[in-house]
Amino acid sequence: MSAAEVAAVSGISEQVIVEKFGLRGKHIAAADEHVSDLSVTAVGRLLDETQVDPKDIDVVMYYGSMWRDHSVWQVAPHIADRIGATNAFAIEYDNVSHGTPMALRVARDMLRAEPELETVLVVAACRESYLLDYGNERSRFMFNFGDGAVAGLLVGDSGRNEVLGAHAITNGAYSLQVKVPGGGSVAPEGYRYLDVLDPAEMKGGLDQESLPNFVAAARGAAERSGLELADIDFVCLLHTKRSMFEALLSQLGVTEEQAVYLEDTGHMSGVDTLLALDRAVRDGRVGEGDNVLLLSAGTGYTWAAAVIRWGEE
């Protein structure tokens, strides 16, 4: 879906979509392509590339969008079954857009705490473009939402690409601001698209808090890794508006050449930061010994970060 197409359905000019939203286009899942399908495709490519036998996976961890194939349903067991991970147990949790740093933190801690576990598959998918009502101005900041999936393998004592430290900050005062109002026990038959309770109140608060909390999460992750922000070589961010992206890079002391901006995909819930890392590694922008910061935030509202040291020991 191009920026021009987003402009056409939303009534926002294409120039604003490109320059302010930072969106040149985004991918849209097929009508019959669900979160489980996107996840299985990503995992299949990963296993083919790494030559890992799915029977050697100990844990299948899903951390993507809450809008799955079915309501009140877990997708992780279904993914495990479809990929043939017959020896794995499945877990999942709802950490939306800040999912990747949290997933890496949880998976790392599981591997450390339980020596019998050796391989954790983390997978996230997003199909939230279908939750957008382009006629609802309250939700316009989410018009960059697209669809996609990502998967990764964490292997205990592999001696490479170590997850160092992680940190997160939550302000639950925003917990009711962004949601799909209908479909839950409060309003079973209510509005079935993403909505914002009070856009002015949310924007006013986040304009004051968001940038400092992003930086605090990043600094906390660096410190828990035995590093300082000046030691960060590359940054993988969630997709956000262009002005926030530039402000974050300035505060973190890195250049645009040291970051990935997903202007061709938009925002895909928990997918963004791991996808950004994948792109950066494949195009040679992340190399041996680099300290990579994965930094994101999700409605609720939580800012989360994790640091990976890339390459062989």
Q: How confident is the model at residue 302 (pLDDT cuts 50, 70, 90)?
A: very high
Same domain, 177 and 278: yes
Q: How confident is the model at residue 151 (pLDDT cuts 50, 70, 90)?
A: very high
pLDDT at 94: 86
* β-pairing verdict for 147-155 and 119-127: antiparallel
Same domain, 11 and 42: yes
Condensed to tens digits (0 to 9), the pLDDT of residues 19-60 reads 999 999 999 999 999 999 999 999 999 999 999 999 999 999
Are the C-beta atoms of 199 and 138 separated by less than 8 Å?
yes
Q: Model's pTM, two decimal places?
A: 0.96
Which range of residues forms the domain containing residue 168? Answer: 162-312
What is the CATH classification number for the domain harbouring 179?
3.40.47.10
Arithmetic mean of pLDDT, 261-285: 97
Domain boundary among 140, 157, 174: 157
Same domain, 261 and 287: yes
Whole-angstrom distance, CA of residue 232 vs CA of residue 287: 13
pLDDT at 266: 96
Mean pLDDT, rounded, of the chain: 97
Task: State the angle between helix axes of 199-224 and 242-252 in degrees (0 to 180), rounded to the nearest 10.
Answer: 30
pLDDT at 313: 54
Condensed to tens digits (0 to 9), the pLDDT of residues 67-83 reads 999 999 999 999 999 99
Domain boundary among 105, 123, 157: 157
100-58-158 Cα angle (round to 5): 70
Q: How confident is the model at residue 95 (pLDDT cuts 50, 70, 90)?
A: confident
